[in-house]
Structure 1
Amino acid sequence: MREVRLSIFGFGNVGRALAGVLLEKEPFFRERYGLDFRVVSVADTSGLVWLPEGIDLREALLVKENFGKLSAWTNDYEVYSLRPEEAVREIEADLVVDVTGDMRAHVWHLEALKEGKGVVTSNKPPLAFHYSELVGEAERRELPYLFEATVMAGTPVIALLRENLLGDTVEGIEAVLNATTTFILSRMEEGMTFEEALRKAQEMGIAERDPTADVLGMDAGYKATILHCVAFHPLTFGEASVRGITGVTPEEIERARGRGNTVRLVASIREGSVTVEPKEVSGESPLAVKSYENVAIIKTDLLGELVIKGSGAGLKETASGGVGDIVKASLQLPKG
């Protein structure tokens, strides 16, 4: 049995879902992979709880649910105010797990790698802006740096491109990568205004309270940039051309419907080029996804057209990608 020490940053919805899976499937991970996970620290925006012998995750979840912040957990644990880059230096862990939205997390991802720790993340901006630096550092140190949950939640498009299509030359990818915009556009097809559809998405927890990154196309742009980095070569989000759905009118939606088509926020990825914009697509196309599904059409020289489709949102789905990477990274860690 191999014990793997985890340091988790982020204890919002995704972080708690990930913790729940680690608890629920603990026997499965032991029996299937010979892995015993010990969470030695967990942090939210209020503070960091750290115990080398391991934190009681059930209690952590209860504290967060009842009090809304980990800093309220003072009976058995000391709460620290360490910055992430200090924490990854000081805490003895094998894997750093980032499920935050920290735009500058690349700083402490690099620090973790330099300290000999593997990294698993669902955080998109570090990779969209610093892919080459982060992946290069991990490769130099022979450490895992895994990020399946950054694109299409738990649908394994990253692993497909990184590990499976090794004999294929990718010619291009077309994808719908943002569940919020798909939901909004689907509801507009049913007669809702943009504002009504957005409000409904927020009520259902599909859209964030601040939906800017989704509706302006930035979230899809981050994801498309990451796919380009994996499929072709590194570039940054600043090199992508991105336009969101705020300018899509009910008239455009209705005209598309009259032609048997639909409007979706489509990412087009070719070598050296990333474009995200609303497009009219055939109602028969795999891109005409509904509700909060995501899809990617990958064109290669050998396979032709490969379609991978799955939920692009949801806590269980994102936790699937994150926990899968934790298992994979644990099996890749250097022995000893």
Structure 2
Amino acid sequence: MCVREVKLSLFGFGNVGRAVAEVLLEKEALFREKYGLRFRVVSISDTSGTVWLPEGIDLREALMVKENFGKLSAWTSDYEVYNFTPEEAVREIDAHIIVDVTNDKNAHEWHLAALKDGKAVVTSNKPPLAFHYADLTEEAEKRDLPYLFEATVMAGTPIITLLREGILADSIEGMEAVLNATTTFILSQMEMGQDFERALKTAQRLGIAERDPSGDVLGIDAGYKATILHCLAFHPITFDDIAVKGIAEVTSGEVRRARERGRTIRLVAAVEKGKVVVEPREVPLGSPLAVESHENVAIMRTDLLGELVIKGAGAGLKETASGVVSDIIKASLHLREV
């Protein structure tokens, strides 16, 4: 098999970025043998700077530096560290695919710059799509470039691929989904007798909730994801067009009374054409929506298939890396054909 080399620029080298690097390392032989692809990471950016080496960065060494020193800028003995803005890095560095695993809320600007520069984009970053879906996907289509974002919703569970490629003959009538694992964990702790504050502290102690948990508990994360699902299933909208209420006001009494009725409270996103509502809702214990742990689930209703349930990991480093690296492979195979 003829092996094609694909140059990657990786933006973000926190937990997810390192998980992506580890998958690229561990499965290098598989990707070469199965897909005829060899990946060369030519740059890595974290908040301290950008390491850029056109011949390719040693990922094992990069992982070691980050683990030992906490920042790429400590790598000065072997590599020059550049203080590029993301847009400067996108324009300056010769790469086939820009991989964004940051939380940069303004990343749509450099995603667009990458597309205009003829580069494919793979991202797990939700706000660019939740606010600028139409601009980004139209630019990508105009240039016949991949703009892929599987890991933005349900980590590596392929709901995006299903909606984009899998059920093209169906019209989606609506969907209900549980899309945030942190709130599921907190609500589960409340079912075991903890109040909201204590359950949140438990989640933070275990690393399930962020130090600033507002994105999860106020429903913002689930809202971003539900917005993206609406864009795929129906037509582009933005996060500003939807209704969101988180779990911060859910009381222990409400949780207990729901259990007494054979029900459980989950943060549910209801997605219908032109309408998205994210709110805590009672669901029967036997419902697919009564997920546990880090699982996410979506129940879709279509005109041909009827009810379709997709369920799987919605969080986790390996799981998110699965979605990101799958998109890198998909983008590479598309670029090989053009």
Same topology, TM > 0.5 = yes
Does residue 146 of structure 1 match 2:148? yes
Listed one character per residue, the Cα deviations across residues 58-86 of structure 1 (whole Å, up to 9, x for unaligned) are: 00000000000000001110000000001
Distance 2:316 2:308 in 1: 24
Indicate the residue corresponding to 2:314 in structure 1.
312
Give the 3-state SS of the residue equivalent to 1:265 in structure 2: strand
Indicate the residue corresponding to 2:246 in structure 1.
244
Listed one character per residue, the Cα deviations across residues 74-123 of structure 1 (whole Å, up to 9, x for unaligned) are: 11100000000011001000000000000000000000000000000000
Distance 2:182 2:206 in 1: 11
Distance 2:325 2:182 in 1: 23
Indicate the residue corresponding to 1:284 in structure 2.
286
Query: What's the offset of the Cα at 1:198?
Result: 1.1
Indicate the residue corresponding to 2:139 in structure 1.
137
Equivalent residues in 2 for 1:42-191, closer than 5 Å: 42-191=44-193
Count residues in correspondence. Answer: 336
Query: What's the offset of the Cα at 1:52?
Result: 0.4
Distance 1:9 1:160 in 2: 26
Query: What's the offset of the Cα at 1:312?
Result: 1.1
RMSD: 0.8
Does residue 18 of structure 1 match 2:13? no
Query: What's the offset of the Cα at 1:195?
Result: 1.4
TM-score by length of 1: 0.99
Distance 1:215 1:326 in 2: 31
Give the 3-state SS of the residue equivalent to 2:283 in structure 1: strand
Contact 1:286 1:295 in 2 (8 A): yes
Contact 1:143 1:334 in 2 (8 A): no
Query: What's the offset of the Cα at 1:335?
Result: 5.1
Give the 3-state SS of the residue equivalent to 1:143 in structure 2: coil
Indicate the residue corresponding to 2:262 in structure 1.
260
Give the 3-state SS of the residue equivalent to 1:297 in structure 2: strand
Distance 1:312 1:195 in 2: 23
Give the 3-state SS of the residue equivalent to 2:121 in structure 1: strand
Query: What's the offset of the Cα at 1:319?
Result: 0.3
Query: What's the offset of the Cα at 1:28?
Result: 0.4
Query: What's the offset of the Cα at 1:38?
Result: 0.1
- The one-letter code matched in structure 2 to 1:92 is D
Distance 1:115 1:309 in 2: 37
Query: What's the offset of the Cα at 1:332?
Result: 0.7
Query: What's the offset of the Cα at 1:208?
Result: 1.1
Using the aligned pairs only, state the percent identity: 73
Contact 1:206 1:313 in 2 (8 A): no
Moved over 4 A (4+): none
Distance 2:98 2:31 in 1: 18
Distance 2:126 2:166 in 1: 22
Does residue 224 of structure 1 match 2:243? no
Indicate the residue corresponding to 1:2 in structure 2.
4
Query: What's the offset of the Cα at 1:334?
Result: 5.2
- The one-letter code matched in structure 1 to 2:205 is E
Give the 3-state SS of the residue equivalent to 1:100 in structure 2: coil
Name which of 186, 191, 194 aligns with 1:192. Answer: 194
Distance 1:160 1:208 in 2: 30
Distance 1:292 1:245 in 2: 17
Query: What's the offset of the Cα at 1:206?
Result: 1.3
TM-score by length of 2: 0.98
Distance 2:202 2:55 in 1: 44
Query: What's the offset of the Cα at 1:203?
Result: 1.8
Distance 2:202 2:156 in 1: 24
Indicate the residue corresponding to 1:203 in structure 2.
205
Listed one character per residue, the Cα deviations across residues 7-33 of structure 1 (whole Å, up to 9, x for unaligned) are: 000000000000000000000000000
Contact 1:8 1:41 in 2 (8 A): yes
Query: What's the offset of the Cα at 1:311?
Result: 1.1
Query: What's the offset of the Cα at 1:291?
Result: 1.4
Name which of 211, 214, 217 aligns with 1:215. Answer: 217
- The one-letter code matched in structure 2 to 1:190 is M
